[in-house]
C-alpha cells in the first residue's frame, strides 16, 4: 500500500461519514415532518488493496441512502385509512343529526304534546274563543317545528353535497399529482437518482387519497402506485389519471332527487360510481347523506304527513264555531314526500280560529271532533275507538330519535375503533420509520468520531509523506 492510499482511505472515511452525518442531520430536521421516513446511509467497504503480501481494506463508501419502511404496514395503514375516513365523515354528520334530537335543540316532542294538550283543554270549553286561538297557535308552532327540523336537515344535505364537491375536486388534483409523481419516480429511478423524498411524498398523497376517496391503491411491477375502483374502472394508472365529476341527478334508491352523484370519466365515457364509493371521507359523506339525513327526512315527512292527514280526516267531518265544515286543519298535501317541509296551518284557520271544527253539530258546546283529535296522541287507547287511525306522533318521534341514537352510537364506536387501529399501525410504522432524536444524536457522535479519526489518518498520511519527501538523497 502506498502512502497515498492512506490519504485516499482517510478521504473516503471523511466523505462517507460526512454523508452519514448529513443523513442523520436530515433525519433530525424532519423529526416532526408528517409522513417522513427516516433514512440510513448504507456504508460498504471498498474492495481490497495489497500492501506487500498483506491484503488491507480499500476504504469505505456510502453506496446508498435507504428509507426504513415496511410496505406491509404502509398497505395496512392505507386500508384502514379508507375505513377511518368513512367512519369520521359519517360520525361527524350523524353527530349533527343527533344534535337535532338532543337537549334544548329538540322542541318537536314538546310541540306535539302542546298541540294535543291545547285540543284536549279546548274540548272542555269549546265555546271559548281564546282557547280556540290557543289551539290554532299551537298547531302553527307544531307545523313550524316540523318545517324548522326539515329545513335544518335539508341544509345539512346541501352542506354535505358542497363538501362532496370540494373533496372530489381535491381528489382529482391529488390523482393528477399521483400520476405525475409516478412518472418522476420512474424516470429518476431509471437514471439512478435518489427518489426517497418523492416516495415519501407519494406515500403521504396515497394516504390522504385513501382517507378521502376510499378506492383501492396498489403498486405495480414498475414501481407505480395505481388507484382503482374495483369493477368500475381505473382512476390512476401509471402516469395517467382519469377524472371524477359530480352532477345533480334524479332520485335513485336512497339518494334523493337533486343530490350529487359522482361519475368517473375515462376513455370509455362517463359512469356513475357513487354506489361503489363506500369508504373514505367521500363514501362516509354519501352514506351519511343518503342513509342518515335523507332517511331521517323521509321519516319526518311520514310522521308529519300521517299527523296532518289523520287530524284533517277528523277535522273535515266536523263543524266550526262559524257553522261551516269540510275544512282542513293542516295544509299538508297528498304526497308524503316533503310533507315536513310544507306542513302549515290552513290559511283560512290562521286568520279566523272560528273555522276550527269542534263537533259534528252546530251547537256551541259540541266537542266530539276535538275529543277524536286529542285521542290521536295516545298510542293504542283501548275502547276509545281512536286506535284505528291513531298516529302516536310523539311516540314515532321518540322512536326516530332512538334509532338515530343507535346509528350514532354505532358510528362513534366505528370511528373510535378505526382511530385506534390506525393509531396502532402508526405506532408500528413510527417504531420502524420514525425519527428518534436520541438515536440520531448518538449516530451523529459516532459518525463524527470516525470523521475525526479519518482526518487524523489523513494527517498521519500527510506526515508520512512529508517525512518521505524530507529524506535527502
Note the residues at the interface with another protein (CB under 8 A).
31-32, 38, 98-99, 101-103, 109-110, 112-114, 116-117, 120-121, 123-128, 359, 361, 363-367, 371, 374-375, 377-378, 381-384, 394-395, 397-399, 401-406, 408-409, 412, 423, 426-427, 430-439, 441-442, 445
Helical ranges in 233-367 per DSSP H: 280-287, 294-317, 339-342, 347-351
Distance from C-alpha of 20 to C-alpha of 437, rounded to nearest angstrom: 15
Q: How far is the CB of 442 from another protein (least distance, A)?
A: 7
Nearer to another protein, 101 or 451 (CB): 101
Nearer to another protein, 37 or 182 (CB): 37
Q: How far is the CB of 335 from another protein (least distance, A)?
A: 28
Q: How many helices (H) and strands (E) does the chain have?
A: 12, 15
Distances (CA, A) of 73 to 69, 119, 228, 300: 8, 65, 20, 45
Nearer to another protein, 199 or 386 (CB): 386
Q: How far is the CB of 126 from another protein (least distance, A)?
A: 8
Q: How far is the CB of 369 from another protein (least distance, A)?
A: 12
Nearer to another protein, 252 or 403 (CB): 403
Q: How far is the CB of 451 from another protein (least distance, A)?
A: 17
Distance from C-alpha of 21 to C-alpha of 54, rounded to nearest angstrom: 32
Distance from C-alpha of 310 to C-alpha of 291, rounded to nearest angstrom: 28
Nearer to another protein, 102 or 201 (CB): 102
121: cell is: 283543554
Q: Hunting for cell 365523515 — which residue is that?
A: 89
Q: How far is the CB of 455 from another protein (least distance, A)?
A: 22
Inter-residue contact 265 to 235 (CB < 8 Å) = no
Q: Hunting for cell 419502511 — which residue is that?
A: 69
Nearer to another protein, 30 or 239 (CB): 30
Residue of 283, 276, 80, 250 lying closest to 163 (CA atoms): 283
How many other CB atoms are found less than 10 A from the CB of residue 38?
Answer: 23
Residue 46, helix vs strand vs coil = coil
Distances (CA, A) of 75 to 239, 240, 256, 304: 21, 22, 35, 48
Q: How far is the CB of 415 from another protein (least distance, A)?
A: 12
- Which residues lie closer than 8 Å to 33 by C-beta, 6 or more apart? none
Distances (CA, A) of 191 to 177, 194, 195: 21, 9, 11
Q: How far is the CB of 203 from another protein (least distance, A)?
A: 16
Nearer to another protein, 96 or 189 (CB): 96
How many other CB atoms are found less than 10 A from the CB of residue 145?
Answer: 22
Nearer to another protein, 103 or 192 (CB): 103
Amino acid at each position: 500500500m502506498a502512502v497515498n492510499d492512506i490519504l485516499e482511505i482517510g478521504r473516503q472515511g471523511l466523505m462517507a461519514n460526512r454523508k452519514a452525518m448529513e443523513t442523520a442531520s436530515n433525519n433530525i430536521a424532519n423529526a416532526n415532518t408528517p409522513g417522513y421516513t427516516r433514512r440510513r446511509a448504507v456504508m460498504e467497504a471498498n474492495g481490497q488493496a495489497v500492501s506487500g503480501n498483506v491484503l488491507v481494506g480499500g476504504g469505505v463508501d456510502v453506496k446508498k441512502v435507504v428509507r426504513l419502511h415496511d410496505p406491509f404496514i404502509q398497505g395496512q395503514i392505507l386500508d384502514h385509512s379508507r375505513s377511518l375516513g368513512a367512519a369520521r365523515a359519517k360520525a361527524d354528520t350523524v353527530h349533527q343529526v343527533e344534535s337535532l334530537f338532543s337537549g334544548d335543540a329538540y322542541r318537536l316532542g314538546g310541540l306535539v304534546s302542546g298541540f294535543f294538550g291545547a285540543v284536549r283543554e279546548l274540548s272542555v270549553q269549546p265555546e271559548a274563543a281564546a282557547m280556540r286561538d290557543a289551539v290554532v297557535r299551537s298547531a302553527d308552532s307544531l307545523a313550524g317545528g316540523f318545517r324548522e327540523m326539515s329545513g335544518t336537515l335539508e341544509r345539512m344535505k346541501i352542506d354535505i353535497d358542497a363538501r362532496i364537491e370540494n373533496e372530489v375536486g381535491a381528489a382529482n388534483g391529488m390523482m393528477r399529482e399521483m400520476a405525475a409523481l409516478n412518472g418522476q419516480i420512474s424516470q429518476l429511478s431509471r437514471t439512478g437518482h435518489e427518489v426517497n423524498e418523492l416516495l415519501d411524498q407519494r406515500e403521504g398523497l396515497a394516504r390522504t387519497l385513501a382517507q378521502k376517496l376510499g378506492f383501492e391503491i396498489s403498486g405495480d411491477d414498475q414501481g407505480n402506485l395505481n388507484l382503482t375502483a374495483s369493477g368500475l374502472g381505473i382512476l390512476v394508472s401509471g402516469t395517467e389519471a382519469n377524472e371524477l365529476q359530480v352532477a345533480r341527478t334524479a332520485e335513485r334508491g336512497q339518494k334523493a332527487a337533486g343530490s350529487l352523484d359522482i361519475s368517473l370519466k375515462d376513455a370509455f365515457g362517463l359512469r356513475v360510481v357513487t354506489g361503489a364509493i363506500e369508504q373514505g371521507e367521500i363514501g362516509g359523506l354519501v352514506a351519511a347523506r343518503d342513509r342518515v339525513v335523507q332517511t331521517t327526512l323521509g321519516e319526518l315527512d311520514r310522521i308529519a304527513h300521517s299527523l296532518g292527514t289523520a287530524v284533517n280526516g277528523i277535522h273535515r267531518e266536523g263543524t266550526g264555531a262559524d257553522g261551516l265544515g269540510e275544512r282542513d286543519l293542516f295544509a299538508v298535501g297528498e304526497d308524503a314526500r316533503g310533507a315536513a317541509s310544507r306542513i302549515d296551518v290552513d290559511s283560512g284557520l290562521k286568520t279566523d280560529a272560528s273555522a276550527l271544527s269542534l263537533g259534528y253539530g252546530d251547537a256551541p258546546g259540541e266537542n266530539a271532533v276535538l275529543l277524536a283529535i286529542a285521542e290521536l296522541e295516545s298510542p293504542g287507547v283501548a275502547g276509545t275507538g281512536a286506535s284505528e287511525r291513531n298516529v302516536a306522533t310523539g311516540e314515532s318521534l321518540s322512536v326516530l330519535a332512538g334509532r338515530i341514537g343507535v346509528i350514532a352510537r354505532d358510528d362513534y364506536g366505528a370511528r373510535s375503533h378505526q382511530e385506534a387501529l390506525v393509531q396502532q399501525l402508526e405506532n408500528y410504522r413510527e417504531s420502524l420509520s420514525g425519527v428518534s432524536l436520541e438515536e440520531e444524536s448518538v449516530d451523529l457522535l459516532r459518525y463524527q468520531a470516525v470523521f475525526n479519526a479519518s482526518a487524523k489518518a489523513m494527517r498521519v498520511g500527510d506526515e508520512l509523506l512529508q517525512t518521505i519527501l524530507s529524506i535527502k538523497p
